[in-house]
Amino acid sequence: MTTSPLLTDLYELNMVQAYLDKNEDGEAVFEFFVRRLPARRGFLLAAGLEDALQFLETMRYSAADIAWLKSTGRFRDNLLDYLRDFRFTGDVHAIPEGSVCFPGEPLLRITAPLPQAQLVESRLINILHFQTLIASKAARMVLAAPVKILSDFGLRTAHGAEAGNFSARASYIAGFASVANVLAGQRYGIPIVGTMAHSFVQVHGDEMKAFETFARARPEGVVLLIDTYDTEAGARKVVELAPHLQADGIAIRGVRIDSGDLTAMSKKVRAILDAGGLKDTLILVSGGINEDVLQGMMKDGAPIDGFGIGVNLAASIDAPSLDCAYKLQDYRGTPKRKLSEGKQTWPGRKQVFRAYNSDGRMAGDILTVEGDRQDGEALIVEVMRDGKRVGAVPTLAQIRERATRDLARLPEPLRQLQTGIDYPVQVSDALKGLAAEADRLTKR
């Protein structure tokens, strides 16, 4: 997953050139946060931190990178020398992956010499924004269809290769069961699943022959796609085929339907399978599934066991981006904030404290400055010091468990698809005081 350090915006290099010219390398504090939620959303699920930390640990400029930068004629030797020896040596604090969090709360804080903190900006946002986007979307699907099997089928219409892999990781964190993308299985250890395409049936021309060939080729976990021509006829063929396969010890684990009215069709297919003695054969569906469709199907009692979810997940169709920022909060011990119209930020190193009700549900967060102790659980923890990881690296399973726990602790209205309330995030007096100080110190 290592990418070129040139995967960055030119302005980062421009600024670092200017900083180096002036030896402007004091300690800088930047925080990454989401400004506001998309419509209908009630919370975020933090994801991407492990990839972000891996990026910071491994970011290096090769001789070829340096030579190319030199060839552009834009940069001077002091910058090229600096990049040649580049290592990220800063500290990182973050809200752990799999945590529920809210707008304004820093998901990640970088404390590092200014040029370092600036150079990592573009790729850090690129990683954290997308994985948090997808984890937050997937969490809605998990909440809409608890106890159902959800699988990420989104690779093909994800936005490029990395989006396919990140989507698998982020949705698994949120509670998805599996993924179709084999590489995500290899890379992250996520269970991989797959059936057949319509082309498989078409190649054989004869649907029955296609089913039998497939079942004998992949005898464990046979799932047959039954909608290439006529779905009910397809289901009847499955019933007809089952005893022949059973005689050879092969069970039909499931059927997949990928078109038509999935709720109505699943009921018809369930009846055909049950009548044919295939009560344990699962019904899996795909095509156009999102959290609203899932909720509707649950309400209508569709006898569906699992869902393959594609582009609605992997491109987060209803809200394909989050309004987010990576902002300077402190430089050389002086708090900083941005005052641009409509984009004001809170300055300083921050901490978030979360209170819980007696039933264990989240009651409210307080956003404050680091060192100002408030009641509740402190969410932001140190994860990297002097460029080296602090503490044990959590497994993906542990991150996923955290998400399951946090989603269960959401206030009930926030577990709905159309949330009617805003979760309370208070700004502490200490933070308001720091903002006033920052304004006083700024020569505008």
Which of 58, 62, 199, 357 binds a second copy (CB under 8 A)? It is 199
Matching residue, tokens 């397809």: 234
Which of 36, 81, 274, 317 binds a second copy (CB under 8 A)? It is 317
Closest to a second copy by CB, 290 or 351:
290
Q: Which two tokens stand for residue 216?
A: 């004998």
Which of 35, 83, 119, 198 binds a second copy (CB under 8 A)? It is 198
Calculate helix-pair angle for 63-71, 77-84, nearest 10 degrees: 160
Residue 419 makes contact with a second copy by CB under 8 A = no
Interface region with a second copy, contact rule CB under 8 A, candidates 100-108, 154-162, 293-301, 419-427:
154-162
- Give CA separation, 15 vs 199, 341, 431, in Å: 53, 23, 29
The half-sphere exposure of 384 on its side-chain side, counting CA atoms within 13 A, is 23
Q: Which two tokens stand for residue 96?
A: 């752990």
Spell out where 195-235 has E strands.
Answer: 222-225
Chain residues 70-129 in contact with a second copy, contact rule CB under 8 A: 72, 74, 114, 118, 121-123, 125-127, 129
Residue 54 makes contact with a second copy by CB under 8 A = no
CA 356 to chain centre: 25
Burial of 156-178, coded b for 16+ CB within 10 Å and e otherwise, reads eebeeeebbbbbbbbbbbbbbbb
Closest to a second copy by CB, 126 or 171:
126
Interface region with a second copy, contact rule CB under 8 A, candidates 82-90, 193-201, 274-282, 356-364:
193-201
3-state DSSP assignment of residue 8: coil
Residue 217 makes contact with a second copy by CB under 8 A = yes
Closest CA relative to residue 438, chosen from 324, 331, 340: 331
- The torsion angles phi and psi of 255, rounded to 5 degrees, stand at -125, 155
Residue 232 makes contact with a second copy by CB under 8 A = no
Closest to a second copy by CB, 311 or 410:
311
The Cα–Cα gap between 93 and 389 comes to: 11
- The torsion angles phi and psi of 108, rounded to 5 degrees, stand at -155, 140
- The torsion angles phi and psi of 330, rounded to 5 degrees, stand at -160, 140
Residue 25 makes contact with a second copy by CB under 8 A = no
Residue 371 makes contact with a second copy by CB under 8 A = no
Residue 229 makes contact with a second copy by CB under 8 A = yes
Which of 41, 327, 350, 400 binds a second copy (CB under 8 A)? It is 327
- Give CA separation, 414 vs 100, 292, 314, 362, in Å: 11, 15, 22, 10
Interface region with a second copy, contact rule CB under 8 A, candidates 139-147, 245-253, 331-339, 414-422:
331-339
Chain residues 276-295 in contact with a second copy, contact rule CB under 8 A: none
Number of residues that bind a second copy (CB under 8 A): 106
Interface region with a second copy, contact rule CB under 8 A, candidates 9-17, 138-146, 274-282, 348-356:
9-17
Which of 50, 97, 105, 258 binds a second copy (CB under 8 A)? It is 258
Continuous segment of H or E residues that includes residue 161: helix 161-174
CB of 281 to a second copy, least distance (A): 18
Residue 264 makes contact with a second copy by CB under 8 A = no
Residue 136 makes contact with a second copy by CB under 8 A = no
Residue 206 makes contact with a second copy by CB under 8 A = yes
